[in-house]
Structure 1
Amino acid sequence: MNTTRRSLLKTVSMFGILAAAGVITSKEALAYDLRAGFDAKSLSEALSVLGGTAVDSKDITITSPDIAENGAVVPVSVNTSIPNTTEIYIFVEKNPNPLAAVFMIPAETESTVQTRLKMGQSTNVLVVVKAGGKLFSATKETKVTLGGCGG
């Protein structure tokens, strides 16, 4: 892996800010590196970073448009009622790099996240939730059209 000085500074700065804000401990900041997941070129390769197989769960709700008029900015929100949720991963199956977002959920907080994702084509949005050391998943299809012409 060829790490440039600029990317190293960005990574160290990000973990420093998270540690200073109390979101993660300094030990977690040093030990946690998801670069392999974000660099993965296939969904199976990106999922392998999680270290296990997720089981389907009805306790995960994905909210995204059924038909997105602009694939450059697709709003996605995830809510889970699974107790002890610590991490939420969002994957966009047909993107060149499927892992789109990772959220660390502090203890005793509401497990709801929102973001905007880029989707190059109609695809499934897969959410994996880590809770109590186990992995749970849910999937929702989102169709991407140019100019909202349906499809």
Structure 2
Amino acid sequence: MNELNVLRRTLLKGGCAASVVAFAASAGLLVPGRALAAQWNKAAFESKSIADALKGLGAAGVTDSKEILIKAPDIAENGSMIPVEVTSQIADTQSISILAEKNPLPLLAVFEFAEGAQGYVSTRIKMGQTSSVRVVVKAGGKYYNAAREIKVTIGGCGG
């Protein structure tokens, strides 16, 4: 009998919580996806060159930095899934952008960080051919960059 009471209480708590969330959503207090999603930067993502992508990001005057660490394989057997880790040791990192120079659309990803967040990203990228992967970090209103070449044996962008 005790187990039934625990089960009943759990179901009642869950039902009440679901009702509150449903009410908040119907009242317009909760809008799924909009709160955490950054605005889409169409110009930067549709750029066909590194220079245009950087311009779309607003990254004028990029400075080389040794405080950006890129961990990726030297040779990627399959260009459709290349693991990449980026760590920014630059104080006040606001965003990390990943670009592949020889991709048809070079800007692969942009990650934005809340104030005080650690500048670290782990993701998988797609490359059509051997190319330099460039990472651009925005920190304190300035832009920094580092690059690393990744050799691709089987292309992932239609190759």
Normalised by the size of structure 2, how large is the TM-score? 0.73
SS of the residue aligned with 1:48? helix
Residue in structure 2 matched with residue 8 of structure 1 by the alignment: none
2:134 to 108, 117, 126: 126
**Equivalent position SS for 1:109:** coil
Deviations 1:96-125 (A, max 9, x none): 000000000111111100110110000000
Residue number among 8, 12, 17 corresponding to 2:33 in the alignment: 17
1:70 to 60, 66, 78: 78
Q: 1:54 to 1:16 in 2, by over 3 A?
A: farther
Give the whole-Å Cα distance in 1 for the aligned partners of 2:148 and 2:41: 24
Q: What amino acid maps onto 1:54 in structure 2? A: V
Q: Residue type of the partner of 2:72? A: S
Percent identity reads: 48
**Structure 2 CA distance, aligned partners of 1:16 and 1:107?**
22
Question: What SS does the aligned partner of 1:44 have?
Answer: helix
Aligned match of 1:49: 56
Residue 71 of structure 1 aligns with an amino acid whose one-letter code is G
Distance 1:76 1:40 in 2: 22
What letter corresponds to residue 102 of structure 2 in structure 1? K
Q: Is the 8 A contact 2:93 2:118 kept in 1?
A: no
List structure 1 segments (4+ residues) > 4 angstroms apart after TM superposition: none
| 1:135 and 2:143 correspond | yes
Q: 1:73 to 1:83 in 2, by over 3 A?
A: same
2:15 matched residue in structure 1: none
State the TM-score, normalized to the length of structure 1. 0.77
User: 3-state SS of the aligned residue for 2:53?
Assistant: helix
Aligned pairs (5 A) from 1:44-123: 44-51=51-58, 52-123=60-131
Paired letter, 2:33: I
Q: How many residues align?
A: 124
Cα distance in 1, alignment partners of residues 140 and 154 from structure 2: 41
CA distance in 2, matches of 1:16, 1:141: 39
Cα distance, 1:33 vs structure 2: 3.7
